[in-house]
Amino acid sequence: MNRIKFTEDWDKLREPRFTTIRSYNPGKEEYYRAHIGEAFSILRIRTYRSHPFIGRKIGSATLTDVRVVVPGGIPAAVLHRDVLRGGKPDTEWMERLLAMDRALLLEFENHTGILAEAPP
């Protein structure tokens, strides 16, 4: 099964459709494009370096679109919604995204719409 991991409990994970922005490299782009239309387990992990197969499953979603983007060119509403946590934008994460030369904008259809409470 495909997996997508998050270290934070982003508000977007409660929505019926959500985007996530990932750093760009050709291998990632190829991987995600090859899996459009497939289901992904949504994992809550402790750190960015956590092994990709270790984490608590908090939901599932189907990948519906993959776009290569310049983060500064992403519509403000999409970027803002992508970094909301607890109803407020995470400015540190937004700054990290905007510093990228290019990124992958992944869009998912959420099958759960519920973010389980994850212990820290």
Residue 118 lies in a domain: no
What is the rounded CA–CA span in Å between residue 42 and residue 17? 13
| Cβ atoms of residues 31 and 58 within 8 Å | no
Predicted confidence at residue 119, as pLDDT, reads 42
Residue 52 lies in a domain: yes
Residue 84 lies in a domain: yes
Q: How far is CA 78 from CA 27, 94, 118, in A?
A: 24, 11, 25
Please give the tally of structural domains in the chain.
Answer: 1
Q: Which domain holds residue 36?
A: 2-110
Residue 13 lies in a domain: yes
Long-range contacts, 22-30 (Cβ 8 Å, 24+): 22/103, 22/104, 22/106, 23/100, 23/103, 23/104, 24/68, 24/100, 24/101, 24/102, 24/103, 24/104, 28/104, 29/66, 29/68, 29/104
Residue 69 lies in a domain: yes
pLDDT string in tens for the chain (120-residue length): 898 988 888 899 989 999 999 999 999 999 999 999 999 999 888 766 656 556 778 889 999 999 999 999 999 888 999 999 999 999 998 999 999 999 999 999 999 755 544 444
Judge residue 16's burial from the number of C-beta atoms within 10 Å of its C-beta, 0-12 exposed, 13-18 middle, 19 or more buried: exposed
Per DSSP, which regions of 24-91 are E strands? 39-44, 56-69, 84-85, 88-89
Residue 116 lies in a domain: no
Residue 88 lies in a domain: yes
